[in-house]
Amino acid sequence: MADRDGIFSNDLAVAAARAAADKQAERVVVLDVRELIVITDYFIIASGTSERQVKSISEEIEEALRELGAKPIRREGEAGARWLLLDFIDVVVHVFDEEERDFYDLERLWSDAPRLAWQRSNAASG
């Protein structure tokens, strides 16, 4: 679905996943939650191996989506950097450290959501 600026939410979701992969995020998943909740279309879930990498992944995602004309309306978790959330309205990005991701297990919580297939960018695959 296109948002008010003509950007498709699935394009934003794929761009966010690719940006995370470009920063060597692990276990990058895009969940299509359109049929399950009304507040957003996609969840992107990714993991970093350190606080520094979690921040770096989040910054890369924010920059990639900014280039598409999207800015987050909300950021949460920046102080501890164990779980950062970026809310782009139609796309909500969760970047965890591995321990937090396993603890909260959003994939299990949203197991009814189909996974959106996406391809890594050339930068991430090389």
Let me know if residue 4 belongs to a domain: no
The structure tokens listed for 13 are 């979701």
Let me know if residue 120 belongs to a domain: no
Q: How many domains does the chain have?
A: 1
| Domain span including residue 58 | 9-115
pLDDT score for 7 = 65
Q: What is the pTM of this model?
A: 0.88
83 strand-pairing partners: 96
Let me know if residue 122 belongs to a domain: no
CATH of the domain at 74: 3.30.460.10
Region of 112 please: left (phi>0), alpha (psi -120 to 50) or beta.
Answer: alpha
3-class DSSP state of 23: coil
pLDDT score for 4 = 44
Angle at 46 between CA 115 and CA 8, to 5 degrees: 55
Let me know if residue 39 belongs to a domain: yes
Let me know if residue 98 belongs to a domain: yes
pLDDT score for 109 = 94
Mean pLDDT by 10 residues, the chain (126 residues): 62 96 96 95 96 95 96 87 92 96 95 92 56
Let me know if residue 121 belongs to a domain: no
Let me know if residue 48 belongs to a domain: yes
3-class DSSP state of 6: coil
